[in-house]
Amino acid sequence: MADVILHDHPEFRERYYEIRREGPPVIYLIPKKRATFYAVLRVGIGSYDRSYRDGEKIRPILAGTAHFLEHKLFANPDGSDAMERLSDLGADANAYTTGTSTCYLFNCRENFGESLKELLTFVSEPYFTRENVEMEKKIILQEAAMYGDSPSSRLFVASIRRLYRDHPIRDEIVGTPASIRAITPSRLYGVYRAFYHTGNMQLFVAGDLTPEDVLTSLSDVSMPSREGEFRVAPVAESGRVCKTVRTFRRRVSKPLFNVATAFPERYEDTQDRQRRMLALGIVSAHLFSDSGTLYGELKDKGLVTNPLRWMTEWNPGVCFLSVSGESSEPRKVYELIRERIRSLIDNGISDEDFSRLCRAHYAENVSSFDDAEELVGAFCDAMPDWEDPYVEASLFETLSTDYVNGVLRELFSPDRLNLTVVMPDSENQNETEDEE
């Protein structure tokens, strides 16, 4: 027997089913009248996981292990590759690892049931040998070298490492050359047994399906389960302020910059955190979007030619803002950003600007409901600490100008910003750090 819970959101004309049954992971079915089907299996392990409980022991996890598992689970004991099997069924498959999760996914127009069985089967049947692990190391070491050679990747990682002393966000998702070389089949099996079980998974499905359709596809799939506590909480930090401007030299045509700041976390209920995150998005858009006055001023002064790229992240132990771009004079950009934040704190966002930005963000959220892949991605991102995307959209109506300005003044400070720069250097690529 399965428990099927209907989550109805009539204000958006949207609904989804939460399906719980012994055996498979919790299933979230988002019915969509589409010709295609989309499925994602989310496993709650990512680069933030540095250790796990094994009975009475706490065992370390080498950096890059979650990503290594993502690669190796596609290998089957009979020598076949699950990616190729899914392709033969007409499914386009992929996988990715983040700080908090590993996701295996596919989309297809036909053979949905068989494709879903194949996905859940290969994730449930690990096959690690010394030979295939050593072979995979060569591939992942090449991937790590590629990220290490990328100026933009190097810039972002260096900037974030200046915000956090201990949190595993400092770790590269792919790991380091040393950690990759130290991975063994026994280490992989240990981490797999700790994290890859139905209590630490969620399955998201979107398409013209009923709960019975999905359950029928899972009727003969056996997935691992386990008892007992296994997770060790990651280190939490409030961030640190760096008093220097760090400069790297790489082969780039124009200086690259990243301005970042860490925000202090507050312990509060799920909807309060999500409401603060929406307010943070409105403030960031006001400051850094290409329709804002800051970008217009930067462009008019010839400091940038392309729009700023900005992002916020709020995950266990971390909450930060990152703004990046290209400029021949990155320090002037940095100072102008600091000046604009200081002015906004003093004067606040106007009612008119708040109303415009709130409408724009709300429309963007709601429009994503029509895109099955984007919607399923939002559900994945919400696990396990956020409300579903429909509840998040409904929180916009609880925002106000005063609330958003309160979040602005609580979180933002020009004195907590750091600047990291990649300067052109076609010869020695030395790294230097200079005082602000």
Is pLDDT above 70 for 428?
no
Structure confidence by residue, pLDDT tens digits, 266-295: 767 889 999 999 999 999 999 999 988 899
Q: Tell me if residue 330 falls in helix, strand or coil.
A: helix
**Cα–Cα distance measured from residue 81 to residue 418, given in angstroms and rounded to the nearest whole number:** 45
pLDDT value, residue 436: 47
What CATH superfamily is the domain 244-435? Answer: Metalloenzyme, LuxS/M16 peptidase-like (3.30.830.10)
Provide mean pLDDT across the span 26-38: 94
Structure confidence by residue, pLDDT tens digits, 171-222: 899 999 999 999 999 999 999 999 999 999 999 999 999 999 999 988 888 8
Structure confidence by residue, pLDDT tens digits, 103-149: 999 999 999 999 999 999 999 999 999 999 999 999 999 999 988 78
Q: Do domains 3-217 and 244-435 have the same CATH topology?
A: yes
Is pLDDT above 80 for 237?
no
**Cα–Cα distance measured from residue 97 to residue 72, given in angstroms and rounded to the nearest whole number:** 13
pLDDT value, residue 79: 80
Is pLDDT above 60 for 304?
yes
Domain locations along the chain: 3-217, 244-435
CB of 261 closer than 8 Å to CB of 418: yes
CATH of domain 3-217: 3.30.830.10
Nearby residues of 213 by Cβ (< 8 Å), 6 or more positions away: 113
Strands 37-43, 102-108: pairing is antiparallel
pLDDT value, residue 7: 96
Q: In the block, which residue shows the tokens 């800051």?
A: 294
Mean pLDDT of the chain: 91
CB of 276 closer than 8 Å to CB of 405: no
Half-sphere exposure of 206 (CA within 13 A, CB side): 22
One-letter identity of residue 74: F
Residue closest to 64 by CA, chosen among 134, 133, 140: 140
**Cα–Cα distance measured from residue 392 to residue 386, given in angstroms and rounded to the nearest whole number:** 8
State the pLDDT confidence band at 409, using cuts at 50, 70 and 90: very high
Q: Which helix (H) or strand (E) segment is 185 a member of? A: helix 185-195
Structure confidence by residue, pLDDT tens digits, 374-385: 999 999 999 888
Is pLDDT above 70 for 260?
yes
Q: Which residues of 291-304 are buried (b: 16+ CB within 10 A; e: fewer)?
A: ebebbeebeeeebb
Provide mean pLDDT across the span 217-233: 88
Provide mean pLDDT across the span 293-313: 93
Vertex 198 angle, CA 196 and 201, to 5°: 75
Is pLDDT above 80 for 432?
no
What whole-number percentage of the chain has pLDDT above 70? 95
pLDDT value, residue 228: 84
